[in-house]
Amino acid sequence: MTGPAEVRCMLMRGGTSRGAYFLADDLPADTAARDDLLLRVMGSPDPRQIDGIGGAHPLTSKVAVVSVSDDPEVDVDYLFLQVAVDRPEVSDRQNCGNLLAGVGPFAVERGLVAPGDGETSVRIRMLNTGEPAVATFPTPGGRVDYTGDAEISGVPGSAAPVGIRFPQGSRPLLPTGNVRDTVAGTSVTCVDNGMPTVLIPASAVQVTGYEEPEDLEKDRALAGRLREIRLTAGRLMGLGDVDSTTVPKLSLLAPPRHGGAVTTRTFIPVRCHTSIGVLGAASVAAGLRLPGGVGEGIARPPARSDRMRIEHPTGFLDIDTRVDPGSDGSPPAARRTAVVRTARKLFDGTVFPRSAAPAAARPLGGNDGPAPR
Ligand code: NQM
């Protein structure tokens, strides 16, 4: 498959992730040609992504595709694409709330949205789920200013805040219809407040929930147990066979240790997240607010505030969620969710994809076997 020899691209950090941002018009319209190009841009499949701009981890092998929306209710459309590191796969099956933080600034930088003087709000349609979001960020003098004093765990230093608001979603908060399901012998809560996520007490899978991500990733027995839970939960959640998809995510829950509401270790779904995704956190927070969920007795959600501090391996993520637990036959719903992230333009220029020669599409040799997703 051939494609353009060079493409305009902006590399950005969005929250605790990093990705390549493109205008939709700069990519092939044909999905197969686009995906082939993105694999060659990122350097996949290769555990090191040495011949591309991917960072050899799912959190740094991400793509945002942005365009002016034809929906009069929103300004831009954002399609998130996860580029697998070690497999020739590009997936639109999941969304990413971290790369979302860069979409508004990118839209202003590329002239898709006129900046306000002081601050700009961009209404975004997230094409992966069809749900809307609004991002607000500083634009003094009509230019995006990435500097500021907002700090987020997992990112050194500080940067300008990007406030993100999600109105009530249209998908069921409880995709199985139950607040608790027994899956592969384990009691779990399957929840979707923007990211299908299975909440699992850490103790139910024989870990404390305070381990380092790399130690959890080495635990073969845990990996097998989580895979079993995920395959069954995925079916129950209406996601079909999830063996090769990146959703649902799995979040292990343990009591908080640093004044937050809960400690988490989140599998995305094979690698253990070094922090937690934005929409993953939104789903955990909503799940912990539901009476009868598996977080009861583990988590301590604040009773009088919408804000919840989710502890994770590199710190914490504060997220606001207002959950209506449902009554008289009406299902529970997350009425609103809001979070502050930061984003930064790292590089703007032209990316030169690896050539489209058929041999280049094969994984490089080596004796290590496939790297974890
Ligand atoms: O949940 C990683 C990330 C994510 C997703 C993943 C995310 C979100 O941290 O909104 O941002 O779960 O694969 O970038």
Task: Give the domain CATH number at 264.
Answer: 3.10.310.10
pLDDT, one tens digit per residue, over 204-251 is: 999 999 999 999 999 999 999 999 999 999 999 999 999 999 999 999
Residue 292 to residue 301: CA distance in whole angstroms: 13
- Is 280 touching ligand 1 by the criterion CB < 6 Å? yes
With 0-12 / 13-18 / 19 or more C-beta atoms within 10 angstroms meaning exposed / middle / buried, residue 243 is exposed
Classified as helix, coil or strand, 182 is strand
pLDDT band at 373 (very low <50, low <70, confident <90, very high): low
Residues 320 and 189 in one domain: yes
Q: Which of 197, 163, 135, 229 is nearest to 334 (CA)?
A: 197
Residue nearest to atom 8 of ligand 1 (CA): 277
Inside any domain, residue 44: yes
Is 37 found in the same domain as 99?
Answer: yes
In a domain, 365, yes or no: no
- 103 with 19, same domain: the answer is yes
From the CA of 145, how far away is ligand 1's center (Å)? 24
Is the same domain home to 198 and 117? no
33 and 157 in a single domain? The answer is yes
Total tally of structural domains belonging to the chain:
2
* pLDDT above 70 as % of the chain: 95
Ligand 1 contact, 269 CB (< 6 A): no
**pLDDT score recorded for residue 111:** 98
247 and 304 together in one domain:
yes
Q: Kindly give the interhelix angle for 97-109 and 278-288, rounded to the nearest 10 degrees.
A: 130
Q: Which strand (E) or helix (H) includes residue 40?
A: helix 31-42
What is the per-residue pLDDT for 3? 84
Same domain, 309 and 191: yes
> Are residue 108 and residue 213 in the same domain, yes or no?
no
Distance 75 CA to ligand 1 centre (A): 23
Q: What is the arithmetic mean of pLDDT over 9-29?
A: 98
Please identify, by atom number, the ligand 1 atom nearest to the C-alpha of residue 266.
12
* Contact status, residue 281 vs residue 268, Cβ threshold 8 Å: no
Residues 142 and 246 reside in one and the same domain = no
**Structural domain for 15, as ranges:** 7-168+344-351
For ligand 1, whether the C-beta of 298 sits within 6 Å is no
| Cβ proximity of 96 and 61 under 8 Å | no
- Is there a domain that residue 54 lies in? yes
Domain identity same for 234 and 147:
no
Q: Examine the pLDDT at 360 and tell me if it is beyond 60.
A: no
Same domain, yes or no: 123 and 186: no
For the chain, give the mean pLDDT.
94
The CA distance from 368 to 61, in Å, is 20
